């Protein structure tokens, strides 16, 4: 069965392309045929795809801004009949009236958000528009948030997690601020195609996201948050440090298929920080 995943946040720089490209690479590494639909005029996903070599697992790319000569736009945008997963990288600056068009046939909608005041305010509007204008119902289990580029031991991260919990929208993954994603983007590979202990730390963060995409399983309580604590413990046990991850400059080794990394919940820091809520978000707490 073909499933369609839409990565959406009208604010630029939230990490939509990072999530879309790494999802495409993950499914390709699992032997499936993913379609990476790049609808952003900046074509970041398309440029990443162009860096991939023929020996890498196949990802079918589609972009209305990269149509070959003598090929109609309709033909170039067609979905292959044997496609297993469709991952849509949406453009920034979508208005609320466009949301229904982008999400109407989506099986899952992923909203990445960064831990900053500006991004929190932007995702508040985004989710409100999805619920009201995009006609997304909470009980459909189609909409979830990914906390992106986080640093766990910061006041802003804890405020972000408390704020997302107040929205009553599931947080299905917490992805740390890691140099692994930069290396992947530069090389045209996905995180799950990269071999090495230091990459397994970040790969573990995707377990809850993949589970939700495939089965609709929502992490219970603070499991997604606990993934970060678990991965930190794994680094200590393996002797790796964050400085080792960021300082490593050796060439990336690619392996297919990627190893599955199970993630267990760990206790979390219950220290809370002052939380600034925004007036525009008050009404989205109601049940859709």
Q: Which of 177, 173, 176 is nearest to 207 (CA)?
A: 173
pTM over 0.85: no
Q: What is the pLDDT along the chain (288 residues), one digit of tens a residue?
A: 899 999 999 999 999 999 999 999 999 999 999 999 999 999 999 999 999 999 999 999 999 998 888 889 888 899 999 999 999 999 998 988 899 999 989 999 999 999 998 999 899 999 999 999 888 998 899 999 999 999 888 888 888 888 888 888 999 999 999 999 999 999 999 999 999 888 998 999 999 999 999 999 998 765 555 544 455 445 444 444 444 444 444 555 665 444 433 333 333 443 433 333 334 344 344 444
Question: Which 8-state DSSP code applies to residue 82?
Answer: T
170 vs 91: CA distance, rounded Å: 23
N- to C-terminal Cα separation, the chain: 28
Domains and CATH numbers, the chain: 3-271 (3.40.50.300)
How far apart are the C-alpha atoms of 207 and 204, rounded to whole Å?
A: 6
Strand order in the sheet with 85-89: 60-62, 34-38, 85-89, 3-7, 108-113, 143-150, 171-176
Cα–chain center distance at 269: 24
């Amino acid at each position: 069965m073909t499933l369609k995943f839409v990565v959406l946040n009208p604010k630029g720089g939230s990490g939509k392309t990072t999530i879309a490209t790494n999802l495409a690479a993950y499914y390709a590494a699992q032997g499936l045929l993913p379609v990476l639909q790049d609808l952003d005029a900046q074509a970041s996903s398309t440029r990443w795809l162009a860096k991939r070599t023929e020996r890498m697992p196949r990802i079918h790319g589609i972009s209305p801004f990269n149509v070959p000569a003598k090929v109609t736009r309709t033909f170039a945008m067609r979905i292959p009949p044997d496609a297993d997963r469709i991952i849509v990288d949406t453009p920034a600056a979508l208005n609320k009236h466009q949301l229904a068009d982008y999400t109407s046939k989506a099986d899952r909608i992923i909203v990445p958000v960064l831990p900053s005041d500006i991004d929190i305010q932007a995702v508040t509007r985004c989710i409100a528009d999805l619920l009201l204008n995009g006609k997304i119902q909470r009980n459909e289990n189609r909409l979830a948030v990914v906390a992106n580029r986080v640093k766990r031991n910061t006041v802003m991260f804890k405020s972000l997690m408390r704020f997302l919990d107040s929205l009553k929208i599931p947080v299905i993954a917490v992805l740390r601020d890691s140099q692994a994603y930069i290396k992947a983007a530069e090389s045209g590979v996905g995180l799950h195609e990269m071999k090495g202990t230091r990459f397994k730390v970040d790969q573990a963060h995707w377990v809850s996201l993949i589970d939700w995409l495939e089965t609709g399983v929502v992490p219970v309580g603070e499991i997604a948050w606990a993934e970060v604590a678990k991965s930190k413990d794994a680094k200590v046990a393996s002797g790796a440090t964050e400085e080792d991850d960021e300082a490593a400059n050796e060439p990336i080794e690619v392996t297919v298929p990627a190893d599955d990394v199970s993630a267990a919940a760990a206790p979390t820091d219950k220290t809370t920080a002052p939380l600034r809520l925004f007036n525009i978000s008050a009404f989205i707490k109601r049940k859709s």
